A and B are shown apart, each in its own frame.
Chain A
């Protein structure tokens, strides 16, 4: 199991489009994927879960992956966040 903490750097926060990108990227992997924000923990492969976080610009998230391809999953998801999902 690996954990990684990231910060939301795109201005609009994690709205529908970025949420979809994350879920679709995570669903390619076999590992379990959870996202934790404050006291909320959700399944990172569920679109409703990810949107429920309502993670705004500047907020902190903890990514947790567990499984055979956990490193690749975390790497791709972290890159997605860092790329600001192609936004500002």
Chain B
């Protein structure tokens, strides 16, 4: 199971979520293991059925003002009853001031207590998005990722088939490179995203030349950091025996991290301009999204024509007899 320590979370996201640590630093050793959040209002009120204590607990104005409304002794008990649970982390929003006993009890129970200056709503949404990314299933794939007319194209194929050269060709034609050689893919809500595995920038290796910096060479418009992956194109050496798609009526799909995307097996042979074909794949994908399927339209026209001609032939035979 994926996890992230509260210490790492604070270190990397301190700025983004304007966080400050209230409890002593050793409480930060705890791990966050869930991507979901919880508002523990009902727990403070004494209702513990289905209390999602394994999630980060967010305290907003509602919770704090409820606790402030209690008598000192009730307040102490109410907080204690919640904090006996093995909570990974509590975050108070809007930099609200806490009941005094809260910090004491959190230290006592070894539960990290953080404060954020963001509003509850803002924190809730950005934290959910961040945790979604941290906890989403991910893997790395050997290939290149490009943005072609807004369509995320994942280029795969054996080493030396010409993925990088093809990516370069597309960049030269004004398309965007996301990453070359290794693509980090993660799935979120049935959508795949791809990005680079490092923060070095957009470098790629061109056989016979060495490393080049695509951003320096082609400018900022030639690169982007992350892209939704829409179609996989597998480049393969031309083989006479391979069953290549001829009409395109039936789509092939590939499963990546439980998400299905169309895959196209593209034969490459010397002298063939693969970049143009990839642009065509991207545009055809857009047309299909907009409801226009060229293969369907053509075959339907053909079918109509065949029926009409068969009827005419039938009529002329009967008429002749």
Contact = CB atoms under 8 A, between A and B. Distances in A.
A54 B248 CA distance: 19
Interface string B49-90: 000000000000000000000000000000000000000000
A24 B307 CA distance: 24
A27 B240 contact: yes
B247 interface: yes
B129 to A, nearest CB: 45
A51 B249 CA distance: 14
Given A15-B299, A16-B302, A27-B240, A57 B246 contact: no
A65 B23 CA distance: 85
The dominant DSSP class at the B interface is helix
Contacts of A23: 246
A83 interface: no
Contact of B243 (A15, A19, A24, A56): A24
A59 B309 CA distance: 9
Contacts of A11: 310
Q: Which of B241, B246, B247, B317 has the most CB of A within 10 A?
A: B246
A58 B314 contact: yes
**Size range of the chain B interface in the assembly:** 10 to 19
B259 interface: no
Interface string A1-32: 00000000001111110011001100110000
B305 interface: yes
B313 A20 contact: no
A23 to B, nearest CB: 6
Contacts, number: 54
Interface residues of A, number: 20
A47 B243 contact: no
B306 A20 contact: no
A54 B299 contact: no
Given A20-B247, A27-B240, A47-B247, A59 B302 contact: no
Given A15-B302, A15-B303, A54-B305, A20 B246 contact: yes
A65 to B, nearest CB: 17
B309 A16 contact: no
Interface string B246-290: 110100000000000000000000000000000000000000000
Given A27-B240, A54-B305, A16 B299 contact: yes
Given A15-B299, A16-B303, A56-B309, 9 more contacts: A13-B309, A15-B302, A24-B243, A51-B298, A54-B306, A54-B309, A56-B306, A59-B309, A59-B313
12 contacts: A12-B306, A15-B302, A15-B303, A16-B295, A16-B298, A28-B240, A51-B298, A54-B302, A56-B309, A56-B313, A57-B310, A58-B317
